[in-house]
Each structure stands twice: as C-alpha cells, then as structure tokens.
C-alpha cells in the first residue's frame, strides 16, 4: 500500500472516530439535558404538591376549629393529619428541603402529631375545649401564611420567572456556606423561612408538647452534679475500660446535660454520653464494624442480659431484637409485679464477633423508671380478649404499661396475635376502661423484628 493510500486510510479512520466520539458526546449531552428536565419537572411537581397540601391543611385546620360533634371533630383531625403528612412527603422530595425549610418541616410535623393526638382523645369531653379551639385557629393562621408564601413562589415557577434549584446547585451553595456563618442565599426556600409566623405553644399528650421540654428524668431526681473526672470514671466502669482512654469531646447543655467522651477501642471510635447530674450512662455507640459473627443471637441476648444485671438494671426481660451491621440490638423492658413497663425500655447492642457491648441507649429508663404501684385490672382477661378481632388467633397474653407518646402511661392487657397470613399483631386493651388502646404490627424477617 502506497504512503498516500495509507495516509488517506488514517485520515478517514480519524475522521470516523471523531464523528463517532462527537456523536456520543452529543448523545450524552442530550441525555443529560433530558435527565435535568426530568429532575426539574420532579422538583416542580413536588413544590406544587407541597403548596396544594399546605393550602388543604389550612382548610382542614379551620374546619376542625369549628367542629363541636366528637365524630366530626375526629374525622377532621384525621384529615388534618393526612394533609400534614402529604406536605411532609412533598417537602422531602425537594433538594435539601428539610434542611433549608427547617421551621416549615417542624411545623408540619407538630401540626400532624397534634391533630392525631386530638383525634385519638375525642371520646373525652375535654377534647373540644376552648383552649384547643384557640390553638387550632392559630395553627390555621400559620398554615394560611405559609400557604400564601408558597403560592407566590409557585406562581413565579409557573411563569418562568424562577427555576427550580437542582441538587447540584443546592449542594454547592450549602457547601459554600457551611461553617462560615453565611446565610443560605440564592434559594427560594429562604423567602419561606424568613418571615415564618410564631407557632402557638402546643400543650397535649404528644412528643411535640411544649411542657415536655421541661420534663425531668425520674432516675436523676435528687442526684448530685458530677465533675468531668467522675463522669469519665463512670464511663470507664460501665464499659470495663481504663479511664485514660477516654477524652472529653463535648459537653451538651440540652434538656438533659451530658458529658461526651470518645475513645479509640478495637480499631473503632467509641463514644459515650454521661449525664452531668448523677453520672448515669445515657448513650453508647461505636464506629467499629464487627467482623464475621461467631455468636448466636441467643448467646448475644444472654450476654446483654448479664451485662444489664451487672450494671444495676434488675428484672429486665428481652422483648425484640434486630441485627444490624454485625451487631444485635436487643430491647429490654423491666418487669414489675408481672407488668412489662415499656416506657422504661433499654437497648443494648452486642457485637456478634467478640461478644462485647458496642451500643447502649438508656434514655427511656432514666426518664421514666421509678416506683410504681399497679391497680387490680378493672377489666379481666376474658372481657379484654373479646375485643380482639375474631380473625386473629391469640398466642399469648401479659399485662403491660405502654407510653402514649407524651408523658402519660396506660395500664393494658397485651395480646400477641397471629393473622391469617402468618404475620403477628399486638393488641392493647386498656385494663381500666376496657377499650382498645393501641395496635402494633410486628415486621419479622431474617434480621429480627421491627415494631410499627
């Protein structure tokens, strides 16, 4: 082949390669543009859903503030809860919406929980009090103000005067402001938060009730304040480690002030929180990922039970467990006079490779545990069991104290039942009133049991 012919072949090959490469580049650009349009449309849709749900939330709150019939009141409270949930779902689909719309997210969560709490208590005359009506009317005003702001932004999006911010833009802007004390500018979200109205104080039996912020821990009452050195010694004794491995990394001044200590143990970072009052262990967790399991779940449960008994947690019985990342988390509840006290739950994690305790949560126990006296049930087992759905097969029964979500506890009959599909259900019947108090579903798989 002549040199000129070879040169022509090379030129043709390079030209072809260039055309193919350019074709791929153009195709990739088109796909990227299509993908971006899909994202933009998704964000627009989510914002529209947020705007719509917030407007409907305002309508539901206004209606329920005027309801006097307990049945209608309960139905409208349920409708309010549903709209708050819909708004939260839409908010979660926006890029960093829950970060930048922090007040909005908190408002939606509180309103939904408050409405559901009222719906569950409509059998009592106290539900439709003037205080509740005033709070609901004020919440409706908040929802209206939020709705008007969202509608303004929605109109700008629809008119093309504003474009939905994508994930990359939000990430870049948040990263630029991170740790520099800057305002998060450039996002339409900020106009929503800037003039957010003052939310009324919510006093009810639920987790967002204002009075719970002042709640004290029963197990810490009367105990003295401890020094950093005493807290370090408590952490070391609890985990059986030398004091010198613990370094103070934080001191929280939250509702329950704690010392935070870290330590390098077994190739991982161990973190322990010790209460400033009383020097009690609040929480333990580690970054170490356990290796291959050598212990059975039964052996891990026995180790956890022995650990709690050794650390001064008497009469603890395991309820459910969940295996996560090589560790078994076991939920323990104290049993007093034959009653399972679920508000006092303690969670212990055992590493399945070494058998060491690698996680602990004692907040429920420290907050709720104390001297209790249980009345004789006014409703016997047979009467309570008659309230269980006939399609369920009762497997076991026990007496239990269950939390309400707020500060109260309810004395109940607990029935573990099996449904026709083999799944398990917990039915709680109030032992004093004879009414169904709660229903929980057990989601069971190879990793353990999740209660919802």
pLDDT digits (tens, 9 = 90+) for 297-322: 999 999 999 999 999 999 999 999 99
Both tokens of residue 248? 């103070």
Residue range 216-261, pLDDT digits in tens: 788 999 999 999 999 999 999 999 999 999 999 989 877 899 999 9
3-state SS assignment for residue 372? coil
H or E element: which one contains 55? Answer: helix 3-66
**pLDDT tens digits for range 152-179:** 777 776 766 555 554 444 444 444 444 4
Domain ranges of the chain: 9-213, 218-368, 381-451
Cα torsion angle, 341, 343, 346, 352, sign: positive
Question: Which residues are CB-contacts of 35 (< 8 A; sequence separation ≥ 6)?
Answer: none
How many C-alpha atoms does 261 have within 13 Å on its Cβ side?
A: 30
- Residues 61-92 have pLDDT tens digits of 888 888 877 778 888 888 888 888 888 888 87
pLDDT at 205: 47
For 278, residues 6+ apart whose C-beta sits below 8 A from its C-beta are 219, 220, 223, 224, 226
Q: How confident is the model at residue 337 (pLDDT cuts 50, 70, 90)?
A: very high
3-state secondary structure 309-332: HHCCCCCEEEEEEEEECCEEEEEE
Round to whole Å and give the CA distance between 366 and 349: 18
Domain boundaries 381-451, corresponding CATH code: 3.10.450
CA 370 to chain CA centroid, Å, is: 26
């Amino acid at each position: 082949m002549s040199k000129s012919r070879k040169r022509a072949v090379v030129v043709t090959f390079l030209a072809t390669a260039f055309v193919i490469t350019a074709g791929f580049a153009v195709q990739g650009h088109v796909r990227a543009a299509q993908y971006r349009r899909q994202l933009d449309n998704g964000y627009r849709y989510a914002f529209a859903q947020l705007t719509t749900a917030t407007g409907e939330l305002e309508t539901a709150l206004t209606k329920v503030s005027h309801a006097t019939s307990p049945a209608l009141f309960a139905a409208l409270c349920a409708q309010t809860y549903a709209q708050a949930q819909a708004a939260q779902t839409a908010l979660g689909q926006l890029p960093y919406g829950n970060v930048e719309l922090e007040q909005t997210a908190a408002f939606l969560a509180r309103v939904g929980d408050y409405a559901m709490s009222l719906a569950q208590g409509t059998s009592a005359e106290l539900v439709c009090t003037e205080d509740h009506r005033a709070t609901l009317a004020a919440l409706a005003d908040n929802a209206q103000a939020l709705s008007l702001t969202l509608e303004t932004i929605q109109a700008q999006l629809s008119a093309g005067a504003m474009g939905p911010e994508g994930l990359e833009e939000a990430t870049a802007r948040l990263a630029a402001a991170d740790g520099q004390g800057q305002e998060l500018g450039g996002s339409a979200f900020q106009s929503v938060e800037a003039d957010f109205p003052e939310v009324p104080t919510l006093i009810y039996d639920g987790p967002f009730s204002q009075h719970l912020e002042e709640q004290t821990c029963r197990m810490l009452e009367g105990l003295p304040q401890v020094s950093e050195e005493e807290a370090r010694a408590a952490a070391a004794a609890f985990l059986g480690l030398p004091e010198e491995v613990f370094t103070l990394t934080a001191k929280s001044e939250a509702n329950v002030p704690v010392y935070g200590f870290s330590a390098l143990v077994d190739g991982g970072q161990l973190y322990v929180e010790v209460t400033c009052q009383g020097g009690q262990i609040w929480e333990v967790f580690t970054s170490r990922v356990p290796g291959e399991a050598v212990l059975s779940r039964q052996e891990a449960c026995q180790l956890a039970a022995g650990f709690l008994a050794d650390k001064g947690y008497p009469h603890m019985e395991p309820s459910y467990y969940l295996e996560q990342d090589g560790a078994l988390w076991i939920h323990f509840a104290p049993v007093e006079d034959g009653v399972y006290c679920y508000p006092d739950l303690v969670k212990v994690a055992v590493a399945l490779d070494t058998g060491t305790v690698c996680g602990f949560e004692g907040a429920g126990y420290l907050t709720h545990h104390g001297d209790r006296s249980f009345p004789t049930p006014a409703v016997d087992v047979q009467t309570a069991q008659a309230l269980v759905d006939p399609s369920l097969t009762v497997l076991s029964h026990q007496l239990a104290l269950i939390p309400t979500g707020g500060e109260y506890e309810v004395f109940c009959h607990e029935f573990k039942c099996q449904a026709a599909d083999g799944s398990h259900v917990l039915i709680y019947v109030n032992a004093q009133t004879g009414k169904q108090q709660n229903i929980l579903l057990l989601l069971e798989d190879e990793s353990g049991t999740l209660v919802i």
